[in-house]
Structure 1
Amino acid sequence: MEYSIELEQYILDHIDDESDVLKELNRQTHIKMLQPRMLSGHVQGQILKMLVQMIAPTNVLEIGTYTGYSAISMAQGLEKEGATIDTIEINDELEPFVKPFLEKSGFDKKINLHFGDALEVIPQLDKMYDLVFIDGDKRVYPEYYDLLIDKVRPGGYILADNILWDGKIVQELQKNDRYTKGILDFNDQVKSDDRVEKVILPIRDGIFLIRKKH
Structure 2
Amino acid sequence: MSDDETQRYADQHTSPEPPLLAQLNRETHVQMLYARMLSGHAQGRLLSMISHMVRPRRVLELGTFTGYAALCLAEGLAPGGELHTVEFNPELETRIRRYIAAAGLEEKLHLHIGAAAAVVPTLGGMWDLVFIDADKINNDTYYELVLPQVRAGGFVLIDNVLWGGKVLSSHPLKPSDKDTRAVRAFNDKVQADPRVENVFLPLRDGLLLVRKLG
Q: Which runs of 5+ in 1 are unaligned?
A: none
What is the one-letter code of the residue matched to 1:165?
A: W
The aligned runs of 1:154-169 (5 Å cut-off) are 154-169=152-167
Once residues 106 and 8 of structure 1 are traced to their aligned partners in structure 2, the CA distance between those partners, rounded to angstroms, is: 32
Q: 1:132 aligns with which of 120, 130, 133?
A: 130
User: Normalising by structure 1, what TM-score?
Assistant: 0.94
Higher relative contact order (CA 8 A, sep 6+): 1
Q: Which runs of 5+ in 2 are unaligned?
A: none
Question: What residue number does 1:19 align with?
Answer: 18
What is the one-letter code of the residue matched to 1:44?
A: Q
Once residues 37 and 181 of structure 2 are traced to their aligned partners in structure 1, the CA distance between those partners, rounded to angstroms, is: 19
Conserved in 2, the CA contact under 8 Å of 1:175 and 1:181? no
The RMSD of aligned alpha carbons is 1.4
Percent identity over the alignment is 45
How far does residue 109 in structure 1 lie from its aligned partner after superposition? 1.8
Q: Deviations over 1:48-85 (max 9, x none)?
A: 0000011111100000000000000111122x211111
How far does residue 21 in structure 1 lie from its aligned partner after superposition? 0.5
How far does residue 176 in structure 1 lie from its aligned partner after superposition? 5.0
2:56 partner SS: coil
Once residues 200 and 44 of structure 1 are traced to their aligned partners in structure 2, the CA distance between those partners, rounded to angstroms, is: 14
Q: 2:107 aligns with which of 99, 106, 109?
A: 109
1:88 partner SS: strand
Question: What residue number does 1:185 align with?
Answer: 185
Displaced runs of 4+ in structure 1, greater than 6 A? none
Once residues 164 and 50 of structure 1 are traced to their aligned partners in structure 2, the CA distance between those partners, rounded to angstroms, is: 21
Once residues 8 and 103 of structure 1 are traced to their aligned partners in structure 2, the CA distance between those partners, rounded to angstroms, is: 32
Question: What residue number does 1:63 align with?
Answer: 62
How far does residue 174 in structure 1 lie from its aligned partner after superposition? 4.2
The aligned runs of 1:134-153 (5 Å cut-off) are 134-153=132-151
What is the one-letter code of the residue matched to 1:178?
A: K
1:169 partner SS: coil
What is the one-letter code of the residue matched to 1:38?
A: M
Once residues 125 and 27 of structure 2 are traced to their aligned partners in structure 1, the CA distance between those partners, rounded to angstroms, is: 33
